[in-house]
Amino acid sequence: MIFKEGSIKTALWCMAIERNIKIGEEKEDVLQKKKKRNQRMSSGNGFLHNSCLFVYIFFTFNQLVSSFSFEQCNVTRSCWFHPPECSADNTAACQSGVEWQMLPEGLFLQLEAKVHDLDQTRPFYAALGFSFNQRMDDDTVFECVVPHTGDGKVQISFNDETFNQVLPQASSVLLTEGTTSYIDGVLTCSAKLLLDNRPLISNDTQFMVHDLETGSYHLLFARGSANKYTLEKDIHSTNDGQQFPWMSDEQVSFCRTNCSSPNLYHIGEMRQTYNVSRYWRYRIAVWHGILLMFAWWVLVSNAILISRYFKPLFPRNKLLGTAVWFQLHRDMMILSVVIQVICVLLIFYQAGWVWYQCSYMCTSDDFSKKMHAITGFTATVLALLQPVFGFLRPSPTSSIRPIFNWGHWFIGMFSWSVASATIFLSLPMGKTGLRRVYGHVPDWIAIGYMLFFVACNLILELITVTSSNDKVEGIQPHRFTVGPMGMALANLNTPIKDAPIEVPKRTKARITIVLVHLVVSLSVNIAFAVMLFRVLWSHSP
């Protein structure tokens, strides 16, 4: 922090008084005979010493609370201070700020941020992004990383959705006169951005540095902690509060000559999020995961087993006028589709109806986030198509009914597989925090359940095949027909009258396996719900 001229003079005055006091104390040792006079001098010296200390502390404190200067805003410089309460009359509310000035050679930038609320054992950073859409995607970033001691760094980087890449070569040709400091809990850095040197950036990274003079940009400001050894930046805070990044509502342009738009700005309108706060965005994401896991791994999974392996059971029993297996299958599937549609709409709503994806660089976690959206949307579309196909199914006597049956089964199993892949891809995502907190335990639980579901299908298929080998003489193969009373099990040759039906073998085994699967699927869903809520409450109570 740089003290003003008045505080510097005060400090020099205090130093002079301290020096005179010291000289006076040395003379006291020689002039022992003038004890009374020396005592008065000592008292006076103590008063001067304490007064000087008080004045020094006063000016220092005054400088701390007034470190954000508004004097040149809209005069020679443009300014943007955060939060909105920060003003010339309320500098104590200021947490961070950006100042910039157009120069003949380029753009002067200065960042300032209080970092007392960050981890004091690690370096700090402040970053200013130039964005077309108020989002951290395809943005050029001016940033500085400052340790507690030693030299900091001023550099240019690039944001690609969730990934930040430092651009050393671009920094070397664009930035000059860079300075950094960390004094009394305040990080400050500045540099000149040589706009005319943009063509000197290497071809493979030139597109990552915007030509600031050719467009208008929203400004994004973030601060956070960095690695103490490499000065590599951590992700900024992702919770509501002063540590979350700020974004300007107003777009600014940077012009040196022949400017048609204002060249000076004093931004006052800003925000930290969109129509949904981070508090509710996290909760929507958590409920999105829990309910969709319930929809696919509890409702759909059990509906598949009931549809395929419960048809011969309870042939004379009906539920609400319809065969038991069909009523259960239909109701569970409809409930699942309703849950899916609501959850997908809510997750897009909290994201501002924007499809997130990394455009240039994808880490494995970024790829998971991108594919999660694609596979999840695909699974939901397929789930919506299944009831339509069911409504258009041909009659039981139609020659294409077997084709429909196989197609309906294949689409159902394929959509379940895609949905399961979507659930697995969500595990490393930041909003769930599952892999970050629990390691690979959620992975093994998810893989274990998927293998268990496949095993249940194989066992039930084996039971069905072995049970159908032995048929009672005179009993023909059964099938379902649709009549006034709903679906009923009837003999092929007499579709109007119910044929004598053999009680299926291993009925208890079938029911037991499906019930065990129901318990396991619910247990898995509950386990993930507990983990998700524990992570949520740990950072957003």
Q: Name the β-bridge partners of 478.
A: 491
pLDDT in tens, 104-114: 999 999 999 99
Helix (H, G, I), strand (E, B) or coil at 151: coil
pLDDT in tens, 272-302: 887 788 889 899 999 999 999 999 999 999 9
- What's the pLDDT score for residue 470? 54
Contacts for 279 with CB less than 8 Å, ≥ 6 apart? 240, 540
Band (pLDDT 50/70/90 cuts) for residue 502 is: low
Band (pLDDT 50/70/90 cuts) for residue 11 is: very low
pLDDT in tens, 37-90: 444 434 444 444 444 444 443 333 333 334 688 988 999 999 999 999 999 999
- What's the pLDDT score for residue 325? 86
**pLDDT (mean) for 350-378:** 81
- What's the pLDDT score for residue 300? 97
Which range (25-34, 145-154, 156-165, 519-528) has the least confidence?
A: 25-34
Note if the bond before 83 is cis, omega within 30 degrees.
yes
Flag whether pLDDT at 478 surpasses 90: no
- What's the pLDDT score for residue 86? 94
Task: Output the pTM of the full model.
Answer: 0.74
**pLDDT (mean) for 467-479:** 49
Structure tokens belonging to residue 480: 């379902």
**What residue type is 509 in one-letter code?**
A
Could you give phi then psi for residue 310, rounded to 5 degrees? -105, 0
Structure tokens belonging to residue 30: 């020689």
Flag whether pLDDT at 487 surpasses 50: no
Band (pLDDT 50/70/90 cuts) for residue 197 is: very high
d(C-alpha 65, C-alpha 57), whole Å: 12
**What residue type is 394 in one-letter code?**
P
d(C-alpha 257, C-alpha 102), whole Å: 10
Structure tokens belonging to residue 279: 């508090």
Helix (H, G, I), strand (E, B) or coil at 408: helix
Could you give phi then psi for residue 499, rounded to 5 degrees? -85, 160
Cβ atoms within 10 A of the Cβ of 401, count? Answer: 14
Can you give 415-459 as a three-state secondary structure string? HHHHHHHHHHHHCCCCCCCHHHHHCCHHHHHHHHHHHHHHHHHHH
pLDDT in tens, 255-279: 988 887 778 999 999 998 877 888 8
- What's the pLDDT score for residue 465? 85
**pLDDT (mean) for 425-437:** 88
Flag whether pLDDT at 489 surpasses 90: no
**pLDDT (mean) for 489-499:** 38
Band (pLDDT 50/70/90 cuts) for residue 151 is: confident
Higher-pLDDT residue of 64 and 419 is 419
Structure tokens belonging to residue 372: 């999660």
**pLDDT (mean) for 123-146:** 92
d(C-alpha 394, C-alpha 397), whole Å: 8
Flag whether pLDDT at 476 surpasses 80: no
Q: Are 205 and 169 in contact (CB under 8 A)?
A: yes
Could you give phi then psi for residue 25, rounded to 5 degrees? -65, -35
Flag whether pLDDT at 321 surpasses 50: yes
Helices 441-468 and 301-309: crossing angle in degrees, nearest 10, is 10
- What's the pLDDT score for residue 275? 73
Helix (H) or strand (E) segment spanning residue 508: helix 507-539
